[in-house]
C-alpha cells in the first residue's frame, strides 16, 4: 500500500500503485505498461493526490478528456505525450473516461548501472509543466505507438539476462524520439513561442529601465518563468532551441546592454549603477561586465 503524508498517498514502487488501483500486476518489478483502453482502474481514490516516486510517461491518442497534474489540468485534445519525474503529485481523476491510452511507469532502479541513469536528467521535459506536454503529428504518433508496442512485447516475453538491457535501450529510444519531437514543437509553434519571447523581453525591459531592479534585485530564470506561467526548464529549452541562448544568457544580454547605456548616458558611479541594476555587491557587477565585454565598467566609461 502507498503510505500517507499530508493527506497525499505516496507510492515507492509500481506494484503498490497497481494493487491500489486494482490494475494488472507488473510483469517486471521495475517497469510496467498499462493500457487503460483494456484495464479500467478502481476509482476509490478519486480526487485524492498521489505522489509517484518513479517516472510516468502517458501516451494518449485522440484523447478528449483532461488530466490534472499538480495545480493544473492538461487538455490532451488530439493526443500526445506527458512526462512526470519521481516525486511529482498527480490528482486521481473521478471519471472512467479520463483513463484512456497507455501509461508507462519506470522505477529509477531499472536504470542503475546504465548510462541512462545519469542522462535521464538531461531530458528536460520531465520537469516541464503539464500544459507544456508534447503534441504529436500523425506520423509521430505512429512512431511512438510502435515504440510502446515494442516495450509491451518485451514485457510479455520471459525475463532473461538480456531483458533489462533491451528495456532500458527501448526506453532511451523513446526518450530520444520525444526529445526530437519537442524540438520540432518549438519550431512549428513559433508564433506562440515568439509571443513568449516578446513578453520576456518586455519583462526585462521593465525590470532594468525602472526602479524594479533596485528594489527587487536581479531577475532570475525562475522569476521570468513564473511571470510567463511556464516551467523554468521549458523556457530555457525553448529559448535555446529558437535563439541559441538560455534564459540566464538573455538576462545577461539585457543587463549588460542597460549597463552600457547607463555608463554612456549618466554620470552615475559604477557602484551606483551596480545597485540600480540589482547587484548587492558592485564587485559582482564589475566581474560580470568584464567577463562579457572584456573591459571593466570604469575602462568602458573612459573609452565611450
Q: Which three cell numbers stand for residue 143?
A: 512512431
Q: Which three cell numbers stand for residue 147?
A: 515504440
Are 149 and 214 in a shared domain? no
Q: How far apart are CA 179 and CA 37, in angstroms?
A: 26
User: Residue 293: its pLDDT value, please?
Assistant: 94
User: Residue 64: its pLDDT value, please?
Assistant: 52
Instruction: Find, among 205, 199, 289, 291, the residue nearest to 239 by Cα.
Output: 199
Q: Reading across the β-sheet that carries 134-135, which strands appear in turn?
A: 31-35, 102-106, 55-61, 79-84, 134-135
Q: Which three cell numbers stand for residue 120?
A: 535521464
CB atoms within 10 A of CB 156: 10
DSSP letters, 190-203, are HHHHHHHHHHHHHH
DSSP letters, 104-150, are EEE-GGGGTTSTHHHHGGG-GGGGS-GGGPEE--HHHHHHHHHHHHH
Are 40 and 166 in a shared domain? yes
Q: How far apart are CA 37 and CA 99, in angstroms?
A: 7
38: exposed, middle or buried (Cβ count in 10 Å: 0-12, 13-18, 19+): exposed
Distances (CA, A) of 135 to 80, 178, 238: 5, 10, 15
Are 222 and 278 in a shared domain? yes
Q: How far apart are CA 2 and CA 8, in angstroms?
A: 9
Name the average pLDDT for the chain: 87
Are 145 and 279 in a shared domain? no
Are 174 and 236 in a shared domain? no
Are 155 and 251 in a shared domain? no
Q: What is the pLDDT of residues 54-87, one digit of tens each?
A: 999 999 876 454 544 433 444 445 668 889 899 8
Are 63 and 154 in a shared domain? yes
| CATH code of the domain covering residue 173 | 2.60.120.280
User: Residue 92: its pLDDT value, please?
Assistant: 80
Residue at a domain's end among 158, 188, 218:
188
Are 209 and 172 in a shared domain? no
User: Residue 190: its pLDDT value, please?
Assistant: 62
Instruction: Give kind and range of the element (H or E) at residue 141.
Output: helix 138-155
For residue 133, the 8-state DSSP code is P
Q: How far apart are CA 299 and CA 82, in angstroms?
A: 51
Are 41 and 105 in a shared domain? yes
| CATH code of the domain covering residue 286 | 1.10.10.60
Q: Decide the pairing of beta strands 3-5 and 8-11.
A: antiparallel
Are 144 and 97 in a shared domain? yes
Q: Which three cell numbers stand for residue 157?
A: 516475453
In our burial notation (b when 16+ CB lie closer than 10 A, e otherwise), range 218-230 reads bbebebbbeebeb
Q: How many domains does the chain fold into?
A: 2
Are 36 and 98 in a shared domain? yes
User: Residue 155: its pLDDT value, please?
Assistant: 96
Q: Which three cell numbers stand for residue 239?
A: 529559448
Signed CA dihedral, 197, 203, 208, 213: sign only? negative
Domain of residue 297 covers 191-302
User: Residue 88: its pLDDT value, please?
Assistant: 83
Are 184 and 54 in a shared domain? yes
Residue at a domain's end among 170, 188, 206:
188
Ranges in the chain, pLDDT < 70: 1-6, 62-79, 97, 130-131, 189-192, 304
Residue at a domain's end among 142, 159, 188:
188
| pTM for the whole structure | 0.72
Amino acid at each position: 500500500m502507498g503510505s500517507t503524508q499530508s493527506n497525499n498517498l505516496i507510492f515507492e514502487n509500481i506494484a503498490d500503485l497497481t494493487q491500489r488501483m486494482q490494475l494488472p500486476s507488473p510483469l517486471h518489478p521495475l517497469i510496467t505498461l498499462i493500457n487503460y483502453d483494456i484495464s479500467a482502474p478502481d476509482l476509490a481514490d478519486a480526487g485524492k493526490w498521489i505522489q509517484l516516486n518513479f517516472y510516468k510517461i502517458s501516451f494518449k491518442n485522440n484523447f478528449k478528456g483532461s488530466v490534472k497534474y499538480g495545480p493544473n489540468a492538461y487538455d490532451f485534445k488530439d493526443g500526445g505525450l506527458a512526462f512526470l519525474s519521481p516525486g511529482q503529485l498527480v490528482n486521481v481523476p473521478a471519471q472512467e473516461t479520463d483513463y484512456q491510452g497507455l501509461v508507462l511507469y519506470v522505477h529509477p532502479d531499472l536504470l542503475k548501472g546504465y548510462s541512462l541513469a545519469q542522462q535521464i536528467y538531461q531530458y528536460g521535459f520531465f520537469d516541464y509543466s503539464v500544459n507544456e506536454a508534447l503534441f504529436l503529428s500523425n506520423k509521430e504518433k505512429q512512431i511512438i505507438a510502435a515504440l510502446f508496442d515494442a516495450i509491451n512485447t518485451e514485457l510479455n516475453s520471459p525475463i532473461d539476462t538480456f531483458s533489462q538491457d533491451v528495456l532500458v535501450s527501448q526506453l532511451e529510444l523513446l526518450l530520444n524520439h520525444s526529445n526530437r519531437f519537442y524540438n520540432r514543437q518549438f519550431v512549428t509553434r513559433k508564433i506562440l513561442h515568439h509571443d513568449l519571447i516578446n513578453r520576456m523581453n518586455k519583462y526585462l525591459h521593465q525590470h532594468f529601465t525602472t526602479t524594479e531592479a533596485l528594489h527587487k534585485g536581479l531577475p532570475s530564470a525562475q522569476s521570468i518563468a513564473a511571470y510567463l506561467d511556464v516551467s523554468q526548464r521549458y523556457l530555457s529549452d525553448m529559448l535555446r532551441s529558437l535563439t541559441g541562448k538560455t534564459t540566464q544568457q538573455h538576462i545577461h544580454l539585457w543587463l549588460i546592454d542597460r549597463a552600457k547605456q547607463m555608463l554612456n548616458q549618466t554620470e552615475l558611479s559604477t557602484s551606483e549603477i551596480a545597485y540600480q541594476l540589482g547587484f548587492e555587491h558592485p564587485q559582482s557587477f564589475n566581474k560580470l561586465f568584464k567577463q562579457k565585454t572584456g573591459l571593466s565598467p570604469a575602462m568602458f566609461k573612459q573609452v565611450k
